[in-house]
Structure formats: C-alpha cells, structure tokens
A and B are shown apart, each in its own frame.
Chain A
Amino acid sequence: MLIGNPNVGKSTLFNRLTGARQRVVNAPRTTVEVATGSWRDPALPGGEVTLTDLPGTYDIKPSSPDERVATTALLGGTDGRRAAAAIVAVDATALGRSLYLLGQVRALGIPTVVALTMADVALTRGVAIDPARLARAVGSPVVTVDPRKGHGRAALADAVNEALRGGTPEVLTHDTDALEWADRAVRIAYGDEGRPEPRRTLTDRVDAVLLTPWVGIPVFAAVLWGMLQLVTTAATPLMTAVDSWWSSAVLGGSRWLIPGDGWWEQAVVDGVLAGVGVVVSFAPLMALTFVALAILEDSGYLARAAIVADRGMRAMGLNGQATLPLIIGFGCNLPALAALKTLPSRRQRLATGLLIPFTSCTARLPVYLLLASAFFPRYAGTVVFAMYALSATVVVLGGLVMKRTVLRGRSADSTIMVLPAYQRPNLRALGLSAWTRTRAFVTRAGTVIVMALCALWLLSAIPAPGSHGGFAAVRAEDSVYGATAAAVAPVFAPAGFDDWRLSAALVSGFVAKEIVVGTLAQSYALDEPAEPGADPSLNERLRDTLDASSGGHGPAAALAFLAFVLMYTPCVATLGELRRQLGSRWMLTAVAIGLTSAYLTAVLVFQIGRAL
C-alpha cells in the first residue's frame, strides 16, 4: 500500500513504479477511486508486487470516505487481508504532518518503509533532511526518492523487500499519541540545527501577487476561460474527427463486412457499434480535460484558485475548490463530474455534483439556436444569452436551496489547505494519468452509454401494437419509441408543447443532447440541418407544431421547451459518471430534481408567456 498526505508526490511515485500496468477502480461499495498496479523490480519477492495507491489523507482515523478507504485497506480490506507492507510518502518540506500519518500507520503493526519526497524543494527552503538520522528517529528505513525523475526506485525496492521479509515491526503502544510521537521524531530528525526558520522562496514571491484580489481574480478568470475553450473549441475538432473516422472506417467497414439490412445487422451496426462510436468520440474530450486538470494540480495553481474563489462560493455553501468543476460544466457536464475528484470532501463532491447538471453544456446550444432562430430571428443571440444567464442563476439558486434543505445541518467546510510549491508539471506523469483515467471512463461510463443507445435502437425497431411494418422496418412514429413519446406528450400540455415529435426529441436528448436537432428533423422526414436554424422548412414545421400545441402561443411554448432542455436530466453519459462519482441513490436524486425543476419551470415560463 502506498499512503501519504495529498500533494506529496505519492501518485507520481505510483505512476513511476507501475507505469502503464495500472488501473483505476472504485473501492468496494464506495465511490472513492483507488489505483492498483504491478510494480516490477528484480529486488522484489518474485520480481513483482501489487501496489495500491490509497487516497491522499492526513489522518487514518476516518472522518471522510477517502480516509475510511485508506484505513480499511490498511487493516485488511473486504477480504480480511492486511497490507503486507506500507510505503509512506513523507514530505521533506512538511515533516510534522507526514510523520503524524507515519506514526498512525506504524501503530497498526504493518511493516513500513518511508519514501522521502520533495527533498529538492526542501533544500530551496533551507531544509536538509539526513535520511539516516530520520530513519533512527522513526524506526523505519528511509529512502530518498524523486518520483518525477525516477531516482531512488532501486533503493526503495530493496527496502520494501527487506520490510516484507522482516516481519512485524515494533508497534507503538496504544496510548502513544501520534502527534507527540511525530513531534519527538521531528526534533530528532532536525538534530542540533533545530527546526528551520521560514525562508521566503520564489513560491512565496509569486503568491504575494497571485493571491491578491486584483491579480488573483483576473488570472483565475483567464484560467477558467482557458478551460472552457479547451472543452469546446479545442476538443470539438478532435471529437468530430474521431466521429467521422468511426462513421466511415468502422461503421462503413462493418456494413461491408455484414451486408444486408436485416434486424440483427442493424442491431450490431446501428445499435452496438454506433453506441461505441459515441463513447469513443468522447475520449479526446475526456483526455484533454484530464491533462488540463493534471497540469493545474501538478503545477500547484489549483490550490491558489480555490483560495481566490472561496468567498464567492461560500455563499452557496461550497468552498472555492468547487468553482472549477462548475465552470467546466458549461463546456460539458461529463468532464465537470470527473473534476469532482479535486474536491477534498464527500459533502463538497455531492453538492457540486448535484449542481453540475444545471450548467448549460455546449451540446444544448444547437437546440437553443434552432428554436431561437425559428421563433425569435431578430433576437436569437439574446435568447441564447438568456439561456446561459438562466443556467447560472439556477446554479446559484440551487446552491442556496441545497444549503437550506438537502445539506441543512452540515456546515460548510472552512477552506484549510496546504499550498504546494509551484513546480513544472511532469509530462510523463501527465500523459500516464490522462491515459489511465480516460481508459477508466471508456470502459465504465461507456458501458452505460452503449446500453442506453442499444435500448433506444430497440424501441425504435419494435412496431407499436396495431401499427404497420415489421421489426426494424417501421417508421419512427409507428414504433414503440414513437408510441411512447406520443403517450408521454400530453404531460407537456401545461407547458405548451404536447406534440410527440417534441417529447421524442426530449427522450433522445436524454441519451445524448447532440442528437436532439437530428431527431426533430427525422421526425419531420427531413435531413439534419448543417447549421441549426438555417433550414427554413424545419423552422416552419416547428412553428406550425408549437403554434398548434400551444393554442397560438408558439413563442411562449418555444421558450418553455428551451427551459426544459436546459434543466432536465443530463445525457446518459453524464448519469453514468454521476453514478460512478456519487452512487446510484444520488444519481437518481439528481434525475428526480432535474425532471421536476425542468417541468415546473417550463410550465411557469409558458403560462406567464401566454398571459403577457
């Protein structure tokens, strides 16, 4: 087991030791991520051991799900097997808090090796740690490592091998206070020179500027803008390229390999393979997001951003670290949920995760443009802007409501965090982290997406009772999908859009918001327009439909439809990630909140609109 405080280079060390032979899983019955991998070195027993990277923690007395996972893993996990040995990453710039954790791990009687990190950073701060003296102070072997450069791996393997062969170490007595033990060990480690006096470093000089409101806030805004550009402008061409390649090479190739138009050929090509294509097209977006998050974390800037944004977020019951996931959500909800891992507590991850679906992702934009162009051609830009303003307002109001209802009684955590030294991100570590996390997304959230798309295809292929046409040879409105949409449509009468085409579009939007415009076009037997709002025949059909369904109040019904699209459940990919991050219960809660608030808002918008 590899354990240590956050930001001590523990995960960088793990990546260096295991390379690509690792995978990210959720700890059993939790939503806490744990990485496991294979560490190969000739000095290790059998040349290989399984290494588990536990969540960064300051304390193994569990007060959070992450700390509970670390404690459970050390004590024996769900299979009762205790860790054979523990590598405790100790930060040379912060001996006190690192040795506190070390003392707690030693108290469990687990053979322990200390991996001393950040020794180079400590030197710049006037701190020189003698590994031999530290080893005498703590009673465990100490190996100085530099995970970014790979130094110390061989010595670490030797020390771990000795620890695995050496049996149970001397255990701290149960009434030994870990804080006192750590304090004593620190005094011994520093020796006659005593504790180092704080020295003003380059990091301090940068922070003196970057943490002020006049510089910190504009820089923070620029970073957020950059993240938004990344998940939209930069990712879109890559996603389009992957989608085009998948459509031509994979789907085209499969139609050549599986000729014929029978139902099973359609199921394979238009169901399963098309579903996998959707997942694969998301991969560049997720990879870019993971790289960007890793850069922000590894450089040390993310902690500063949390401090600058803290005051604004506290009003919503959150703290500054929640800002980044919410802003990313305006690009795409999926990577926004992935960014929840940067939040330190379960409460913050839960509150922020429930708000992210209300951020208006770019996939909704084509729908806004289509209806805004059809009903408000002179004010289309204003209407679209109003949707984003509504989204931001709903996020703020949602935070205030949650603070007083769902999360009442759980006071907002004060922001207290270690500020790591600024450092240049390690490219190798960034690449490996992005690869591992993107692979985890494709295999786990991807499974949910493919299953949902296959279900949608199946419903579109089954003829509705009493309709003409055979399996996989039936018009959309005559299928179970169309019949279901027609059955649901009357629910939307108070909102002015009780037409099966619009409810069918909403159902398809549940699968992926990107296909809403295409679904609307198909329902009118038209091709999807190259640009939403640019097809006069589709615009005219929509106006006719909404005028009819709303009793002559088409514009009000259009606004109500837009409000519903903004607020109802996010796509199934987002739900899959929400379930992975927060668990099934909270994922279903998010669905219920989304549907309820979307419906009520749409009805309110329509009723007020038609009264004006």
Chain B
Amino acid sequence: MMLHEAPTGRELIVTAARGKGAQSRLLATLGIAAGSRIVVAQRAAFGARVVAIGADRVALAGDACRDIEVRPS
C-alpha cells in the first residue's frame, strides 16, 4: 500500500520511496528509504502525514506520501 493509505500507530517497512531526483535523495537522507522502519504518527490537514522514524518526526505533504510504498512489519 502507499503511505497515504497506511493506518496510524502501526510499524511499517518502506518497500519503495520514489520521487524525482532531489526528493528521492532527501527522503533517503531523512531515513525514508527501502528497508526503513517507520510509523505514521499523525494524519494532518489535506492528506499530509507525520511519520515517526525513531525519535525523529518528518512531515510529508499528500503528494509525497503517494510516492512511498510501505507494508506492515
């Protein structure tokens, strides 16, 4: 499933983080890449999501969430 479809509070494993060039690298730098373990901490306004990566929190707009594929851990 894509990140915007994922439930909150449940650990997920990223299977693919697509995106154009710099976006893909930024996601990897922030810890969102294939194999990463994340949790959707919040559902925010207009389709945005707040993702917990350990103690870190990263907000992604709705369109960015549609580029990240995840599966339950």
Contact = CB atoms under 8 A, between A and B. Distances in A.
Interface of A: 58-59, 61, 63, 91-97, 100, 122, 125-127, 179, 195-200, 203-204, 207-208, 211-213, 216-217, 303, 307-308, 310-311, 314, 319-320, 411, 413-419, 421
Contacts of A127: 54-55
B1 interface: no
16 contacts: A58-B26, A63-B22, A96-B56, A179-B29, A198-B54, A199-B55, A204-B52, A211-B50, A212-B45, A216-B44, A308-B44, A414-B61, A414-B64, A414-B67, A415-B61, A421-B57
Given A59-B25, A418-B30, A204 B41 contact: yes
A494 B11 CA distance: 67
Contacts of A125: 55
B57 A96 contact: no
B58 A416 contact: yes
A63 B25 contact: yes
Given A97-B29, A204-B42, A418 B57 contact: yes
Contacts of A319: 61
A421 B50 CA distance: 13
B60 A415 contact: yes
B29 A58 contact: yes
Contacts of B60: 414-416
Contacts of B46: 213, 310-311
Most buried by A among B41, B59, B67: B59
Given A195-B37, A211-B45, 11 more contacts: A59-B26, A91-B56, A97-B56, A122-B55, A179-B33, A196-B54, A211-B42, A414-B23, A415-B61, A416-B59, A418-B59
Contact of A100 (B19, B29, B47, B50): B29
A211 B44 contact: yes
A198 B52 contact: yes
A307 B44 contact: yes
Nearest to A415: B61
A356 to B, nearest CB: 23
A368 B5 CA distance: 51
Contacts of B30: 58, 97, 416, 418
Q: Which 7 A-B pairs have the closest CB atoms?
A: A198-B52, A311-B46, A211-B44, A415-B61, A125-B55, A414-B64, A94-B56
